[in-house]
């Protein structure tokens, strides 16, 4: 740093000292997020998984719009074809192009995945943050309640919720899956909040007389962002798998709409003669789940606050 002319160094190390020395200059200029990014891109598996994940996402979003085939149009003359140049992934028993159907199914599967994940985050953050922040008896009670919910098996819980709602559609499935699986996120958030609460900057904020909601909203929640991003990629595959399972046992989106689980269920009946009809949606689910898990692992290594310093 250059010494600015005209600025006077009043005293060594005392007020004004920054003007005469390089002492005031930042020692590093990377942001926390950029550091995390560099750590992430060093992890080859995570980068590859992230790219595949984005490609799958883009394919699901874009392909149905540009595809030459209508994913809903039934044409029995084209039924159950094996993969060919015209239909790279073949056709289903109604003669619909599988490449287009799979993209459509992906929209629903991933859509429910993200929607449910958002609901999970909202419930989980609220529950976990309140429990961890207030602490004491309330925390104890809320955690015991969570323990009790943990005891319930995940899918039956979702099935019962669906039955109570009655109607099966995109939103009811989102709600059913979210309600059955927000517990882990709540726990993670609570743990993080309790750790953050012990930081001196939280004490400092209390010492200046900040009210509790300011401490929670300005200081604690922003610092849980890292674990929340990881939580998204942990919850997403779980929800996608849950949706697939529900659809597979016939509690999913009804035709002519599709999800990967519903497609696999349709393919199950003809798996001897046209195995691609069950293999393709299954592989799609597997790829998505695997990628999300690798991304979550990569993010955890990149965002772990313990490795952030140094």
Interacting residue ranges for other proteins, rule: CB under 8 A: 9, 11-29, 31-32, 38, 140, 144, 199-201, 203-211, 214, 218-219, 222-223, 225, 308-309
Q: Could you say which DSSP state residue 68 is in?
A: S
State the minimum distance, in angstroms, from the CB of residue 21 to other proteins: 4
Q: 42 or 268, CB closer to other proteins? A: 42
Instruction: Give Cβ neighbours of residue 43 (< 8 Å, ≥ 6 apart).
Output: 297, 298, 301, 302
256 cis-preceded (ω within 30 degrees of 0): yes
Among residues 191, 24, 60, which one has the least CA distance to residue 124? 191
State the minimum distance, in angstroms, from the CB of residue 288 to other proteins: 31
**Count of residues making up the chain:** 310
State the minimum distance, in angstroms, from the CB of residue 50 to other proteins: 20
Q: 65 or 137, CB closer to other proteins? A: 137
CB 226 within 8 A of CB 303: yes
Q: 226 or 237, CB closer to other proteins? A: 226
Count CB neighbours of 268 within 10 A: 11
DSSP labels, 5-59: TT----STTSTTGGGTSSTTS-S----HHHHHHHHHHH-HHHHHHHHHHHHHHHH
Q: 107 or 219, CB closer to other proteins? A: 219
Q: 22 or 164, CB closer to other proteins? A: 22
State the minimum distance, in angstroms, from the CB of residue 148 to other proteins: 12
Query: From its phi and psi, is residue 204 left (phi > 0), alpha (psi between -120 and 50) or beta?
Result: alpha
State the minimum distance, in angstroms, from the CB of residue 37 to other proteins: 11
Q: 85 or 208, CB closer to other proteins? A: 208
- Phi and psi torsions of 240, nearest 5°: -60, -45
State the minimum distance, in angstroms, from the CB of residue 303 to other proteins: 12
What would you measure as the largest C-alpha separation in the chain, in angstroms?
A: 91
CB 53 within 8 A of CB 308: no
Half-sphere exposure of 277 (CA within 13 A, CB side): 24
State the minimum distance, in angstroms, from the CB of residue 15 to other proteins: 5
Q: 140 or 273, CB closer to other proteins? A: 140
State the minimum distance, in angstroms, from the CB of residue 11 to other proteins: 7
Q: 268 or 308, CB closer to other proteins? A: 308
């Amino acid at each position: 740093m250059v010494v600015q002319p005209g600025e006077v160094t009043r005293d060594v190390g005392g007020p004004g000292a920054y003007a005469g020395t390089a002492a005031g200059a930042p020692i590093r200029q990377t942001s926390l997020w950029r550091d995390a990014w560099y750590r992430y891109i060093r992890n080859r598996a995570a980068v590859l998984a992230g790219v595949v994940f984005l490609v799958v996402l883009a394919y699901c979003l874009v392909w149905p719009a540009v595809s030459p085939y209508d994913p809903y149009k039934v044409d029995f003359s084209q039924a159950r074809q094996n993969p060919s140049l015209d239909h790279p992934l073949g056709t289903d028993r109604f003669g619909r192009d599988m490449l287009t159907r799979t993209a459509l199914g992906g929209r629903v599967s991933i859509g429910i995945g993200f929607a449910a994940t958002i609901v999970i985050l909202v419930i989980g953050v609220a529950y976990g943050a309140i429990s961890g922040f207030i602490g004491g008896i309330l925390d104890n009670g809320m955690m015991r309640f969570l323990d009790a919910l943990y005891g319930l098996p995940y899918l039956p819980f979702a099935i019962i919720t669906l039955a109570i709602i009655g109607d099966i559609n995109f939103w009811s499935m989102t709600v059913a899956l979210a309600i059955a699986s927000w517990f882990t996120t709540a726990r993670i958030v609570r743990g993080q909040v309790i750790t953050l609460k012990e930081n001196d900057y939280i004490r400092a904020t209390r010492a200046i007389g900040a009210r509790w909601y300011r401490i929670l909203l300005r200081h604690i929640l922003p610092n849980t962002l890292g674990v929340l991003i990881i939580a998204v990629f942990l919850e997403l595959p779980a929800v996608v798998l849950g949706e697939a399972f529900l659809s597979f046992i016939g509690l999913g989106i009804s035709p002519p709409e599709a999800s990967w689980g519903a497609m696999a269920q349709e393919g199950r009946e003809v798996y001897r003669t046209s195995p691609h009809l069950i293999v393709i949606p299954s592989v799609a689910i597997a790829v998505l789940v695997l990628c999300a898990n690798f991304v979550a692992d990569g993010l955890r290594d990149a965002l772990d606050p313990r490795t952030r310093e140094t």
